[in-house]
């Protein structure tokens, strides 16, 4: 997956404008769009192959974990674009996922095709995102965090209040789609494996994720993405250059919300239920953990971070249990590690995994030769 | 250009991988009918000659953890005890419970893990309506016995849709019916207020209560779990002059209603549902307040509730004494609480069901054994199960009791009923004696 | 009528706690321009320590002192060890770090003190005063709560208005560089600000726990409502925080009593959005032009 951000970008630090000096920048600017998009498409194709290989070579439990990871990845990608590229923090993405999940739960029983449902879920959530974004456009840092926190806490209350339509506390069941025959046949043709429900959902999740990542990668590499970064780095300068700050912020929020809605829709079909207790503030903070640990602004980081959300808690709990903690104590260890990791990353490696690795790699490769082209390196 | 060469290389790599994968694929489907290698007797996943693996999900972290996280510790202690006494038909029970933080998303993940990774034979006592509701489809599709869900929701009784899922405790509707019937006959003049948790607990309960008390209800107040400020609701009940309040709430809110009543000098006759009326827990919560102001559970004196399991605060009960011995031998050192007795009783029920499934149980055999003999399973619970092929509801009744001092006094015989307009009658079964060591014996003939 | 009065009184009692919590947020905001999302978890932690002391000594007041002292140490420690290293102009980093602290401390409290409900004794009686034949929802314990908040408010105003230390703290927060040039030990002032704020937060934790139940997440609702209260008051003004806290308490009690408790968080959001859109500087901030 492509992460077209510059290697030295770090969490919320001030800008380093003018980093593309000399003749290279002109050449790169002219060549970049087409080459970048082609590269993204090729990477997407490669990602698809990796997904097929991984899902066919692992068992049903891993399949289900990858299904979970797929929606975390999409939501985290949306958040990392918002926070990493546009500088807006959101603790409300869990609630935005709820919008997508409930939309899916309301539409799927009406026999709307799954893909269309997911697109609608993304669209509805984007609309909510516009509302939140418009209210949030004037807010910064802690104000924005607090306001989106209040949003995240408040929204699930709606599902309880309108329990006739939304199922109340016990939730809205989401019918789990069966794999279509042609799909099962295609998988069988490829690998001689039958398609379990978990595997089908993992395929759906990852196809959605790849498309979402492709769109996001191209968007962030485009003019819009550059404007977002300009606003993040120096809003006064951006404003002077004719950028309408609030419009840009609202757009970023809408795009990010669309991803959250898409992710929520996939969550709905994977979990088979949309319930208020599934979208607590813990979910929002988990997403934030994923993007911070993976590397703010990096789409690859979002994938790594979502892997962390899926695979870390069981590992930590097992570790705690084998270290002699009671089962109840061991279960508390996972949130503790989340919190501690969040602090440590910000203090010690604010670029997250991707930022840190890239900085190291960059330092090593550019020290002798200094070829600027390398900076767009592997991601 | 280097970059376009890289793009081409990537594309080639991707295409190559697809071809390679297709090469090792099957290319087409063989005739149907050759699949399915499982023995015709049914699935034996999770069960061997000397072990049977059982899984569950509970909130061990988060807002629902207080209280509920004790249930699986009781179940675990009971299984350890059974294992120490030779297991079930020579099989040791391997009990795995995982944390879902009362979040359906996590429930779905941990149940996937239990079923697909840990390969459990059955799920036992998974807790919560929204949480367990998220895994019904999956457990049904996988054919995993889903026994004795820890929730009084009506969802678990859908044998057509979810053939492997069975409820356990009296559902909130019949519990409410039994309490409301008692109130209607004993307090015909009472102005009744309701204090309800605003979820399925409160909803099902209100339906049951209104069958008997519809005309007497003067105010219905709801609370949202987590919001501990219930002053406004209590003021509203007081303003409506409700002189008898029925609460379907969790224990912490029993304590809060009592404290708020103290503050407002509002002392109606309280009737709490079983989940909210845990005198040990509530008493210990109330007992520590305000040095000397509230010295013991005196606030609870006179309160009415219902019981379907032995209580931790009643050591003269033979079952409680047995559970106490088990907890002393295998517990984690904490006190024996009603939550733990709840967990132990579920463990007892599971052992009984496993024995009923014969010496070589399969998943299908276990479900059939419960459907066939479930109404005759006897144990610490007050009234029989309603398990048949057409009905998967749990315990059918309870007895109404009054809290007096440290103990409870029965206000009548055990009452049994069913959902909807089924009549309420006295139970015909007597109390079940404790079997040797507190371990059920294999059922005699059918 | 009595119902309305009692709902109002309940709201004011709850509001006093929001006020104390908002005061703590305001203190840190004034000292370091950070909103401390870990405030609730820190307070829960010190309240558990207080509970241990209350249970072993039997004295509520010794417990309170323990919580305050623990808060002072915890606040200073958090500033020194964690917050300082984030850097002064890293708003995003500061928010994320305090969120991390929130999650980690809450889990740690559950590991150390258990996830069960525990009751926290009240400082005084829990029975409402009787006026003739009716009893109003005002208890001796509530009076102590309100009194404690008033004392803290006056103390803080006096500190900032009339003492050198207060002036230095304000200078450090306003412009660290200039203050440093003027010889203010900026670092020490920031630590002091966090320590004082955590002390006030611990007070809020003990006050809300008194005569009620504690569990690791019992401060969660207070975090949101306290934040809204602080913003309502302007985030910069101690007096505003107190008025904002009381207003939030009353508004939410009225919503609970007359609309429905499931809409309480939505009401808090509505208040917040209304304030931010209509008067983002808060009801009580003196400076009109402030970027939020």
Question: Is the pLDDT assigned to residue A298 strictly greater than 50?
Answer: yes
**Would you say residue C121 lies in a domain?**
yes
CB-hemisphere CA count at 13 Å for B55?
Answer: 26
> Domain range for residue C145?
14-218
Per residue in B251-289, is it b (16+ CB within 10 Å) or e — as a string?
Answer: bbbbbbbbbbbbbbbbebbbbbbbbbbbbbbbbbbbebb
Domain B51-169+312-395 annotated CATH 3.10.450.50: no
User: Does C119 sit within 8 Å of B289, measured CB to CB?
Assistant: yes
Q: Say which of A190, A276, A331 has its CB closest to residue B61.
A: A331
B51-169+312-395 and B172-307 share one fold:
yes
Angle subtended by helix axes C91-113 and A327-348, to nearest 10: 160
Residues 85-124 of A with CB under 8 A from B: none
Question: Residue B53: enclosing H or E segment and its boundaries?
Answer: strand B51-58
Count A/B contacts: CB-CB distance under 8 Å. Answer: 160
CA-nearest residue to A140 within chain C is C292
- Cα distance between the two ends of chain C: 41
Task: Please tell me the predicted confidence (pLDDT) of residue A118.
Answer: 94
**Is a pLDDT exceeding 50 seen at residue C133?**
yes
Q: Residue A9 pairs with which residues in a beta bridge?
A: none
Q: Which long-range contacts (CB under 8 A, 24 or more apart) does B23-30 make?
A: B24/A191, B25/A188, B25/A189, B25/A190, B25/A191, B25/A192, B26/A188, B26/A189, B26/A191, B26/A192, B27/A189, B28/A188, B28/A189, B29/A185, B29/A188
Residues 6 or more apart whose CB falls under 8 angstroms from that of B303 comprise B269, B270, B271, B272, B277, B402, B403
Cβ contact C118:C213 at 8 Å? yes
| Region of residue B164 (left: phi > 0; alpha: psi -120 to 50; beta: else) | alpha
pLDDT of residue A372: 42
Q: How many domains in chain C?
A: 1
The shortest CB-CB distance from C263 to any of A161, A343, A347 is to A161
The structure's pTM equals: 0.85
Is the pLDDT assigned to residue A12 strictly greater than 80? Answer: no
* Mean pLDDT score across all residues of chain C: 85
Touching partners of B (3+ C-beta pairs < 8 Å): A, C
Would the CB atoms of C215 and B223 count as touching at under 8 Å?
Answer: no
- Which residue would you say has higher pLDDT here, B63 or A219? A219
**Closest chain B residue to C211, measured at CA:** B289
Mutation for testing the A interface, residue in C107, C215, C216, C227 having most A CBs under 10 Å: C107
Assess if residue C116 is contained within a domain: yes
> Which of A43, A56, A198 is nearest residue B10 as measured by Cβ atoms?
A43
Q: Which residues of B touch C58 (CB under 8 A)?
A: 291
Segments of B155-250 assigned E as strands? 192-197, 217-223, 244-248
Sequence spans of domains, chain B? 51-169+312-395, 172-307
Among A370-379, B287-296, C131-140, C266-275, the range with the most confident prediction by mean pLDDT is C266-275
For residue A374, what pLDDT band results from cuts at 50, 70 and 90?
very low
Please state which architecture CATH assigns to domain B172-307: 3-Layer(aba) Sandwich (3.40)
In this complex, the residue of C95, C104, C224 whose CB is nearest that of residue A340 is C104
pLDDT for position A7? 34
pLDDT at residue number B11: 60
Task: Work out the average pLDDT over A90-116.
Answer: 92
Q: Give the pLDDT of residue B395.
A: 92
Which residues in chain C have their CB less than 8 angstroms from residue B236's CB? Answer: 3, 7, 257
Integer-rounded Cα radius of gyration of chain B? 25
Question: In chain B, what residues touch A191 (CB-CB under 8 Å)?
Answer: 21, 24-26
- pLDDT score, position A190: 72
State ipTM: 0.86
Q: Is any Cβ of chain C less than 8 angstroms from the Cβ of B267?
A: no
Residues of C in contact with A334 (CB under 8 A): 107
Task: For residue A68, name the pLDDT band (cuts at 50, 70, 90).
Answer: very high
pLDDT at residue B205 in the model: 93
Is the Cβ pair A141, C104 closer than 8 Å? no
The pLDDT tens digits along chain B (446 residues) read: 455 565 566 566 655 655 555 555 555 555 444 333 344 467 888 899 899 999 999 998 877 787 888 899 999 999 999 999 998 999 999 999 999 888 888 899 899 999 988 999 999 999 988 899 989 988 998 899 999 999 888 889 999 999 999 999 999 999 999 999 999 999 999 999 999 988 888 889 999 999 999 999 999 999 987 777 888 899 899 989 999 999 998 888 888 898 888 888 888 999 999 888 876 677 666 765 544 444 444 677 788 999 999 988 788 889 999 999 999 999 888 888 888 999 999 999 999 999 998 888 999 999 999 999 888 888 899 888 999 999 999 999 999 999 887 678 888 888 889 888 888 888 887 788 888 888 888 765 44
Q: How far is CA B373 from CA B358, B369, B416, B443, C53, in A?
A: 12, 6, 18, 9, 54
């Amino acid at each position: 997956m492509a992460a077209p951000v510059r290697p030295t970008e770090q969490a919320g630090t001030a800008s380093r404008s003018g980093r593309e000096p000399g003749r290279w920048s002109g050449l790169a600017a002219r060549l970049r769009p087409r080459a970048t998009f082609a590269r993204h498409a090729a990477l997407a194709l490669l990602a698809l192959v990796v997904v097929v290989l991984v899902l066919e070579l692992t068992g049903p439990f891993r399949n289900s974990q990858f299904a979970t990871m797929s929606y975390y990845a999409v939501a985290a990608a949306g958040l990392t674009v918002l926070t990493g590229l546009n500088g807006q923090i959101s603790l409300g993405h869990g609630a935005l996922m709820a919008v997508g999940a409930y939309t899916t739960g309301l539409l799927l029983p009406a026999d709307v095709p799954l893909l269309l449902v997911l697109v609608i879920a993304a669209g509805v959530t984007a609309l909510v995102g516009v509302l939140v974004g418009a209210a949030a456009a004037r807010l910064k840092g802690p104000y924005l965090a607090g306001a989106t926190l209040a949003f995240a806490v408040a929204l699930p209350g709606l599902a309880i209040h309108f329990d006739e339509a939304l199922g109340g506390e016990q939730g809205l069941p989401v019918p789990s789609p069966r794999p279509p025959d042609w799909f099962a046949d295609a998988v069988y043709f490829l690998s001689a494996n039958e398609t379990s429900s978990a595997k089908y959902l993992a395929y759906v999740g990852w196809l959605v994720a790849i498309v979402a990542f492709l769109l996001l990668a191209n968007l962030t590499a485009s003019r819009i993405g550059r404007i977002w970064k300009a606003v993040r780095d120096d809003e006064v300068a951006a404003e002077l250059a004719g950028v309408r700050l609030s419009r840009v912020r609202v757009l970023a929020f809408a795009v990010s919300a669309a991803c959250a809605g898409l992710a929520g829709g996939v969550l709905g079909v994977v979990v088979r239920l949309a319930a208020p207790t599934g979208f607590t503030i813990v979910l929002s903070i988990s997403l934030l953990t994923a993007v911070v640990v993976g590397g703010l602004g990096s789409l690859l980081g979002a994938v790594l971070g979502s892997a962390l959300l899926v695979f870390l808690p069981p590992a930590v709990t097992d570790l705690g249990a084998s270290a002699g903690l009671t089962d109840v104590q061991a279960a508390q260890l996972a949130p503790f590690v989340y919190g501690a990791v969040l602090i440590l990353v910000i203090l010690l490696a604010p670029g997250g995994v991707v930022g840190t690795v890239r900085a190291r790699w960059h330092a090593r490769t550019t020290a002798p030769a200094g070829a600027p082209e390398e900076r767009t390196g592997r991601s | 250009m280097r970059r376009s060469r890289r793009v081409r290389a990537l594309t080639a790599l991707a295409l190559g991988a697809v071809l390679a994968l297709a090469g090792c694929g099957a290319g087409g489907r063989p005739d149907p009918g050759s699949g399915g290698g499982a023995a015709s007797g049914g699935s034996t996943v999770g069960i061997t000659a000397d072990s049977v693996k059982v899984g569950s999900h509970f909130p061990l972290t988060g807002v629902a953890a207080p209280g509920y996280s004790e249930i699986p510790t009781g179940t675990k202690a009971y299984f350890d005890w059974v294992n120490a006494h030779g297991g079930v038909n020579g099989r040791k029970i391997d009990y795995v419970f995982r944390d879902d933080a009362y979040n359906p998303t996590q429930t779905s993940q941990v149940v996937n893990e239990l079923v697909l990774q840990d390969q459990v034979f059955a799920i036992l006592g998974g807790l919560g309506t929204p949480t367990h509701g998220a895994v019904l489809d999956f457990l049904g599709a996988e054919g995993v016995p889903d026994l004795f869900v820890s929730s009084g929701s009506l969802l678990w009784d859908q044998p057509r849709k979810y053939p492997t899922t069975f409820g356990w405790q009296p559902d909130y509707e019949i519990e409410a019916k039994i309490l409301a019937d008692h109130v209607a006959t004993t307090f015909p003049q009472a102005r009744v207020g309701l204090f309800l948790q605003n979820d399925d607990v409160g909803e099902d309960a209100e339906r049951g209560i209104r069958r008997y008390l519809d005309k007497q209800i003067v105010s219905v107040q709801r609370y949202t779990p987590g919001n501990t400020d219930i002053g406004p609701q209590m003021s509203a009940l007081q303003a409506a002059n409700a002189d008898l309040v029925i609460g379907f709430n969790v224990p912490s809110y029993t304590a809060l209603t009592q404290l708020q009543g103290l503050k407002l000098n509002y002392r109606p006759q309280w009737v709490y549902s079983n989940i909210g009326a845990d005198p040990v827990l509530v008493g210990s919560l109330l007992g520590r307040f305000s040095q000397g102001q509230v010295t013991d559970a005196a606030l609870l004196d006179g309160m009415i509730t219902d019981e379907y399991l032995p209580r931790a605060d009643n050591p003269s009960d033979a079952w409680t004494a047995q559970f106490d011995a088990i907890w002393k031998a295998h517990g984690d050192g904490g006190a024996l609480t009603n939550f733990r007795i709840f967990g132990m009783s579920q463990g007892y029920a599971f052992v009984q069901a496993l024995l009923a499934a014969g010496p070589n149980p399969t998943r299908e055999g276990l479900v059939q054994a419960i459907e066939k003999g479930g109404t005759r399973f006897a144990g610490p619970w007050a009234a029989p199960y309603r398990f048949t092929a057409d009905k998967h509801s749990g315990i059918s009744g309870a007895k109404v009791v009054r809290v007096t001092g440290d103990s409870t006094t029965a206000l009548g015989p055990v009452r049994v009923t069913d959902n909807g307009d089924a009549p309420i009658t006295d139970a015909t079964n007597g109390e079940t004696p404790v079997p040797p060591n507190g371990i059920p014996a294999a059922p005699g003939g059918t | 009528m009595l119902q309305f009065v009692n709902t109002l009184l309940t709201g004011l009692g709850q509001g006093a706690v929001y006020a104390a919590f908002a005061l703590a947020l305001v203190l840190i905001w004034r000292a370091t321009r950070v909103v401390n999302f870990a405030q609730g978890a820190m307070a829960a932690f010190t309240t558990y320590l207080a509970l241990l002391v209350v249970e072993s000594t039997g004295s509520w007041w010794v417990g309170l002192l323990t919580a305050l002292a623990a808060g002072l140490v915890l606040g200073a420690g958090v500033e020194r060890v964690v917050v300082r290293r984030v850097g002064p102009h890293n708003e995003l980093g500061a928010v994320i770090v305090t969120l991390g602290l929130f999650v980690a401390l809450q889990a740690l409290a559950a590991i150390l003190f258990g996830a069960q409900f525990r009751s926290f004794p009240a400082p005084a009686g829990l029975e409402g005063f009787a006026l003739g034949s009716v009893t109003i929802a005002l208890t001796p314990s509530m009076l102590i709560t309100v009194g404690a908040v008033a004392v803290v408010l006056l103390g803080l105003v006096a500190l900032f208005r009339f003492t050198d230390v207060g002036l230095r703290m304000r200078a450090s927060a306003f412009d660290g560089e200039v203050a440093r040039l003027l010889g203010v030990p900026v670092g020490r002032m920031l630590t002091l600000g966090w320590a004082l704020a955590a002390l006030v937060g611990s007070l809020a934790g003990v006050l809300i726990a008194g005569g009620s139940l504690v569990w690791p997440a019992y401060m969660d609702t207070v975090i949101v409502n306290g934040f809204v209260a602080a913003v309502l008051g302007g985030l910069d003004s101690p007096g505003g925080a107190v008025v904002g806290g009381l207003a939030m308490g009353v508004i939410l009690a009225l919503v609970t009593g007359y609309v429905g408790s499931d809409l309480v968080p939505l009401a808090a959001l509505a208040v917040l959005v209304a304030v931010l859109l209509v008067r983002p500087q808060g009801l009580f901030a003196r400076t009109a032009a402030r970027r939020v």
